[in-house]
Structure 1
């Protein structure tokens, strides 16, 4: 998820629904650009997300990933964009593939030797320096 957030230049918040965990207090963890939230007792993830969207929904671009049609309508009405879980999975896989390709290209470039980019005269001078100390 951290790679996904970095790829899109986004802050990601993952909300876990813990409303049925008796006595649970809301807990947040920050992992680079990913915030992980565990809701408190009697607080659904949907309620937490709706409140968060209410706070920033029209000031900041917010994208909520959920396949719950009612939740999609609610958060859209409050100013957030929505994406289904299936659409997110496709987007996530595309980002992974793109990151992997870019990483491979970088590692290929790093493995190239300086000698591969020198003219013959410069190579001969370096070889002479190497042999003569």
Structure 2
């Protein structure tokens, strides 16, 4: 029996923002901008890798906040409810998935990493996530570059036999 295995990348949003220097710097003055930059990067990654990505931001200390789920292109962004950490949301979400799904969780939180591993998911650190993203971007650039080359090098003379080319050249010279 063949199972429909899904691939997920679950990102502990604030944990990653605080681990990446460029996002941490932005977050000091504009947390919303830092969140959006992280989301944009994860959208690109999800689009290229085909993984379903979920970025979780906790609203643990936000008074009267309700859980909010935004479905965006290629990813889901979750803002947890008041008194719920991203960790607890992620643990609950992983439990809801099939044991056959391929689940990666990006966090630097050691306690969270242990729980993730215990639930059958794999974990990647913020640094490893950054490397994965950079590699995906490089592969995307290479793919786009090779597609551009294919488009640019679509010459008629490369597809015709010598006899036909010669006839066309004679016609061209006559005019």
Give unmatched runs, 5+ long, in structure 2: 1-41
**Equivalent residue for 2:76, pick from 7, 29, 35:** 35
Match of 1:108 in 2: 149
Preserved CA contact (<8 Å) 2:157 2:165: no
Equivalent residues in 2 for 1:1-133, closer than 5 Å: 1-56=42-97, 58-117=99-158, 118-126=160-168
TM-score (norm 2): 0.67
Contact 1:57 1:78 in 2 (8 A): no
Root-mean-square deviation (Å): 2.2
- Determine which structure has greater relative contact order: mean sequence separation of CA pairs < 8 Å that are 6+ residues apart, divided by chain length: 2
CA distance in structure 1 between the partners assigned to 2:101 and 2:154 by the alignment: 46
- Output the CA distance in 2 between the equivalents of 1:116 and 1:13: 49
- 1:69-112: per-residue Cα shift (whole Å, max 9, x none)? 11000111111111111111111101111111111000111111
User: Which structure 1 residue ranges, 4+ long, deviate > 6 Å from structure 2?
Assistant: 128-132
Shift of 1:64: 0.5
Structure 1 runs not aligned, ≥5 long: none
Q: Secondary structure at the match of 2:70?
A: strand
When structure 1 is superposed on structure 2, of 61-70 and 26-35 the one drifting more is: 26-35
